[in-house]
Every structure is written in structure tokens, then in C-alpha cells.
Amino acid sequence: MIAVDANILVYAHRRDSEFHTPAAACMHELAEGPAGWAIPWPCLHEFLAIVTHRRIYDPPSTTEQAIGQVDAWLESPTAVLLSETHNHWAVLRSLLQVGRVTGPVVHDARVAAVCVAHGVDVLLSVDRDFGRFPGLRVRNPLQ
């Protein structure tokens, strides 16, 4: 299964992003394809926070626009949302230790732990910090 990080979601949604075209094509391919794909809940929360933030975008997406985008992605019959599992702490603790994670990278470890626990094969992201987590392959679909 392929999971999608917040940065790809943001680029796919925001037409003013220099990466909009390849990110939107990637999301379209996932949504219309036959294979299962996923959005981890922490990435969905981060997407909503970023695209509606007026210090990041001028103008920001409205709450309605952001919700509409999420609804559109989730209309895909192959899309699922991934959340923490019963063994989340064990997985997260291991990734924190192995990756020597501190500070803001804790959020990335949380996303990685959700993906690892669900058996995600590849996380689509432009964030190189995910490379420190064993058991999770990362691919940048914008290259």
C-alpha cells in the first residue's frame, strides 16, 4: 500500500504551488487507480492546518475548500485513512530510539509509526527526514 504525506497533499491542492502539476497528477493516479492507497490521519490534520494558515498562504484556502478537497480524495473507493494501532507506542518508541528523534521530527516519527504498523510499502513525500526510519521506504513523486 502507498501512503501520502502532507506535503504532497498540500502541493496537489494548492494551484499556486510550483509543484502543483506533478503532485495533482500523482493524487489523480492514486485516486483513479485500482490499488489501495492511504492518508495517515496526522498528515490529513497537517494538510488542513497548512492550507488554511494565513501566514503560509495569502490567501489561504478556506475551511470549506480544504474540507471539499479531503472529501474529493476520500471519494476514491481505494482510499483509506490510517490511524494509530493498538501497538502504536511500541512502534513509535522503537522509531524514536533508532532514528534518534527529537523536536519537530517527532511528528514525522508518528507518521512513520502509523505507516509501519499498517504495513505501508511506500510513503510518498518530499521530506528526507523519513529516511531515518527503518521499515519505511520513501519516494518523492515530484522528481
Section 78-102 average pLDDT: 97
CA proximity to 78, closest of 8, 12, 31, 29 = 31
Per-residue confidence at 104, pLDDT binned at 50, 70, 90? Answer: very high
What pLDDT does 21 receive? 98
Per-residue confidence at 1, pLDDT binned at 50, 70, 90? Answer: very high
What pLDDT does 28 receive? 98
What pLDDT does 55 receive? 97
Section 10-16 average pLDDT: 98
Question: Can you read off the three cell numbers belonging to residue 78?
Answer: 481505494
Per-residue confidence at 111, pLDDT binned at 50, 70, 90? Answer: very high
- Please write the tens of the pLDDT for every residue from 32-88: 999 999 999 999 999 999 999 999 999 999 999 999 999 999 999 999 999 999 999
Q: What is the percentage of the chain residues whose pLDDT exceeds 90?
A: 98
What pLDDT does 109 receive? 98
Give the phi and the psi of residue 118 in degrees, each rounded to 5: -95, 5
Instruction: Find the DSSP H helices in 14-87.
Output: 20-32, 41-51, 63-74
Domains of the chain as residue ranges with CATH:
2-139 (3.40.50.1010)
What pLDDT does 78 receive? 98
